[in-house]
Amino acid sequence: MSFLLKEQNSKKALLVSPSLLAADYGYLADAAISAEKGGADLIHIDYMDGHYVPNISFGIDLIPALKKRIKLPLEAHLMISNPEERVEDFIRVKPDFIIFQEDTLLNHNKTISMVREAGIRPGLAINPDRELSEIEDYLHLIDYLLILGVHPGFGGQKFIRDTLKKMVRASEIKQERNLDYLIAVDGGVNLKTAPEIVKTGVDILVAGSAIYGSKDVKRAISDFKSLIRT
């Protein structure tokens, strides 16, 4: 975790991570720059392979390209079927976080350790229909827990309110076990759903359409950051 993220998290600041999946693909660098200037804390990059999810999104080389243009931490969220076969490729381009779909890993311990040993922060993402109990044994190994509020693969879906229970439980486990992973929520995050999400104790709001579909990216980010964490 970067010093900036540690400092903000200790002050119970709410972090905002705009998702490039909702940006104009012809202007991805501009979208990232506008997010940075608008006060975003991270940039979220969803990698889709057309297999684990039906869509295909970005190439790996987007990460080094963005690093030339912005200084924000980059989150690589791997929604791919064979992450253990590709993890070395992602390590090579050095995003700040590599986040795996928990149901795609054959060896959680080994893969998470490989990422951490490379100086990159490991994370796990969990789908709406998966129970947090599936990954409780690995939570002490990660720096980032991504709870999906919609089924992965498509932007603009309606938030699944039942996932709020998972957020509450993730916050409880974090406190009970004295762990320091960041809890993020992605999918269906907008100004209508965010207040209830924030009350669960999450650290990061990942938002796509609510930011890049707005006429004023800076204002959209500011509106999210004005929400108070419990």
Catalytic residues: 46, 186
CA 18, distance to chain mean position in Å, is 9
- Quick one: tokens of 144? 């980032």
Query: C-alpha angle with apex 217: 143 to 120, nearest 5 degrees?
Result: 20
Distance, CA of 191 to CA of 96 (rounded, Å): 27
Which run of H or of E encompasses 116? helix 108-117
Contacts of 116 (CB under 8 A, 6+ apart): 122, 141
Q: Which tokens sit at 99?
A: 């986040």
Tell me which residue has tokens 């709406």.
Answer: 128
* Measured distance CA(113)–CA(49) in Å, rounded: 24
Q: Which residues make beta-bridge pairs with 100?
A: 78, 124
